[in-house]
Amino acid sequence: MLWAMAWRNLWRNRRRTLLTVAAIGLGLAVLVTMSSFTEGMKVMMVEQIAQSSLGHIQLHHPDYLERKTTGLVMSSASRLLELVRDVQGVKGASSRLIFSGSIRSSLSSTVRVVRVLAVDPAQEQAFSALDDKVVEGGFVSAPPGTSDPDAPARMRARKGIMVGRKLADQLKVTLGSKVRVDTAGFDGAAVAMAFYVTGILETGTDAFDQGFGMVNLKDMQEATSAGDTVHEISVMVGDPSRVAEIARSISHAISQADGATAMGPTSVAPWWEVLPDLKQMLDMSDAWMGVLYMLMLIILSAGILTTMFMVVFERKREFGVQLALGTGPSRLFAGLVLESFLIATLASVVGLLVGAVNVAYIVAYGLDLSWFMEGFEFAGMFVENVYKGAANVKVFAEPTVVVFAGTVLMALWPAVRVARMSAIDAMR
C-alpha cells in the first residue's frame, strides 16, 4: 500500500521526478566512467611494465633482491624453469643472468653505466614486448660468421649484444661495432668482456634506451663458466588478478619437487615485492583518486540534498492537508523515504545504463588524449596517448552503492522536517 502510494506520488509530478532522476543518474554515470578510467590506467601500467621484462612474478636467490651481488645465483636453472612452466596459470617464463657494469667502445671516449640481461632469445621473445621495439638488426642474434665452420675460431667465438638506441648513439656504435663491458664475475673480481652489436632497440623509455643491453644466455654461461645457473626467472601469468595465488603455487611446486634441497634456496616474489615503488605508486594513485572521488561526492550530495529539499517543500501544503486529514507523521516520513528509495533505484538504473555505454566505449576505443597533449609524439613503451578503461564489478558497484545510499540519506533530513511540521503551519 505504502509502496504503491509512493510510486504514484512520484508520477504526480512527472517533470520534477524525471529531472531529479536524470541529474542523480548522470552524476552516477560520470562516477562509473571515472572509476573505469582509473582502473584502466592501473591495469595498463602494470601490464605494460610486466611486458617490458619485469613479468608478474620473479624467482631469485633469497638475498638477491636486496643485495644484487653477481654471486647470488640459483643453480639447476633449467629444472626450475621446467617446474615453473608446469604450474597452472603460467603463460610464459624467461630465465636470465644480470650484470651491472660500465660499457665503452673504441669509437667514443665516453663510458656509460649499463645493465646487461643475458637471456634465451626464444624464451624472451615469447615473453616480453621488447621484441617489437628492435629498430635495427635482430633480437639478441649472433654476429655474422659465428655459425660458419670455416671461419677462424676467434670469429666463431664472437658474442652479440642488443643495445638501446641512445646508448648506441652515445657510444657512436652501429651494427657490427665492438663494445667492451666491464662487470663483476661470479667470483666477485672485475672482468672485461667484448660484444658485437647485432641489434638496436628503441622503446622511448630511458631505462631501456640508455643503460640497457641484452645478450645471449648461453654465451654468458659458457664465457663465465656459470653452467646451469641464473639470477632471475621472470614469469608472466594469463590472468593478472591471480598473481598472488600463482606465486604460491610456484613456491609449493618447487618445495615439493624431487631433489628440492639440491636446487638450493629460491624466493618467489610477485611484482609488487620486486618493485615496491610501482605498488606504492598505484596505491598512491588510488588514494589520489579517492580524494577526487570525495570532492565529486560532496558536490553530488549537496545537489541531491537540495533537490530533495525542493521536492519535499514544494509539497508542503499537500503534506499539511494529509496531516490534517489524520495521516500520522511516521507514515508521512515512511512515504517520503520510500519515494527517495524509488528515485534512487530509478537513478541507479539510468546511471548504470549510461555508465555502461560510456565504459563500453572507453574499454573498446579508449580516450584519445592526443588532442590535449600537443606534440606528444612519443612512441614509448609505457606511454600511450589513448587511455583505455577497464570493466569489472567494482567499477560499477562502488559508485552505485555510494550514490544510492547518498540519495536515501539525503532525503532523511527533509523527511524528518516534514514529519515534525504541524498541519496548520504547513497549510499556510
Partner 1 sequence: MWHFVRLSWRDLWRNTRRSLLTGLVMTFAVAMMILFVGLGDGAHSQMIRSATESYLGQIQVQLDGYQDSPDLEHLLSSGHLAQVDAALKGMAGVKAHAPRLATGALISKKVPEPEDPDDLEAYRRMTSEGAFVVGVDPKAEREVSTLVQSVIREGCSDKSRTDCPPGRFLDDEDPYPDNPYMGQMVLGVGLAGVLDVEVGDTVALNTGGVEGRTFASLYRVVGLVKTGSLDINRTFALTHFSKLAAGMSVPGAASYVVVAIDDLDSARELALDLQARLDGQSPRAAVSPFKALSWRELSPELDVFVKLDQGSTMVTLVMLVMIVGVILANVVTMSSMERTREYGVRMAVGESPRRITWGLVTETVLLALLSGAVGSVLGEAANSYYQFHGIDFGMGEFEMTGVVLSTVYNTEVTLYGWAFSVGTVLFFAVVGAIYPAWKVSRLSPVDAIRFV
Planar angle of CA 66, 67, 69, nearest 5 degrees:
145
Establish if 258 lies at the interface with partner 1 (CB under 8 A).
no
Enter the DSSP assignment of 392.
-
Cβ(308)–Cβ(302) under 8 Å? no
Count, residues near partner 1 per rule CB under 8 A: 87
Give the end-to-end CA distance of the chain in Å, rounded to a whole number.
29
Q: Which is nearer to partner 1, 236 or 300 (CB)?
A: 300
Establish if 412 lies at the interface with partner 1 (CB under 8 A).
no
Q: Which residues lie across from 162 on neighbouring strands?
A: 199, 214
* Interacting residues with partner 1 between 309 and 348 (CB under 8 A): 309-311, 313-314
Establish if 296 lies at the interface with partner 1 (CB under 8 A).
yes
Which residue among 3, 7, 11, 288 contacts partner 1 (CB under 8 A)? 288
H/E element, 61: none
Q: Least distance in Å: CB of 123 to partner 1?
A: 25
Establish if 425 lies at the interface with partner 1 (CB under 8 A).
no
Q: How far is CA 334 from CA 9, 324, 409, in A?
A: 13, 17, 13
Task: Mark the segment that binds partner 1 (CB under 8 A) among 1-9, 118-126, 263-271, 272-280.
Answer: 272-280
Task: Mark the segment that binds partner 1 (CB under 8 A) among 80-88, 265-273, 307-315, 322-330.
Answer: 307-315
> Phi-psi category of 296—alpha, beta or left, where left has phi over 0 and alpha has psi -120 to 50?
alpha
Q: How far is CA 354 from CA 148, 349, 359, in A?
A: 65, 9, 9
Question: Between 122 and 141, how does the x/- string for binding to partner 1 read (CB under 8 A)?
Answer: --------------------
Which residue among 58, 125, 128, 183 contacts partner 1 (CB under 8 A)? 183
Establish if 267 lies at the interface with partner 1 (CB under 8 A).
no
Q: Least distance in Å: CB of 310 to partner 1?
A: 5
Q: Least distance in Å: CB of 169 to partner 1?
A: 6
Q: Least distance in Å: CB of 31 to partner 1?
A: 8
Task: Mark the segment that binds partner 1 (CB under 8 A) among 34-42, 144-152, 240-248, 258-266.
Answer: 34-42
Q: Least distance in Å: CB of 89 to partner 1?
A: 29
Establish if 66 lies at the interface with partner 1 (CB under 8 A).
yes
C-alpha cell at 231: 639470477
Residue 225: what are its φ and ψ, rounded to 5°?
A: 45, 45
Establish if 367 lies at the interface with partner 1 (CB under 8 A).
yes
- CB-neighbour burial class of residue 187 (10 A; exposed 0-12, middle 13-18, buried 19+): exposed
Distance between CA 285 and CA 270 in Å, rounded? Answer: 20
Which residue among 378, 397, 413, 424 contacts partner 1 (CB under 8 A)? 378
C-alpha cell at 394: 567494482
* Interacting residues with partner 1 between 184 and 243 (CB under 8 A): 184, 186-190, 204-207
At 31, the amino acid letter reads L
Cell 652489436 sits on residue: 197
At 330, the amino acid letter reads S
Q: Least distance in Å: CB of 317 to partner 1?
A: 11
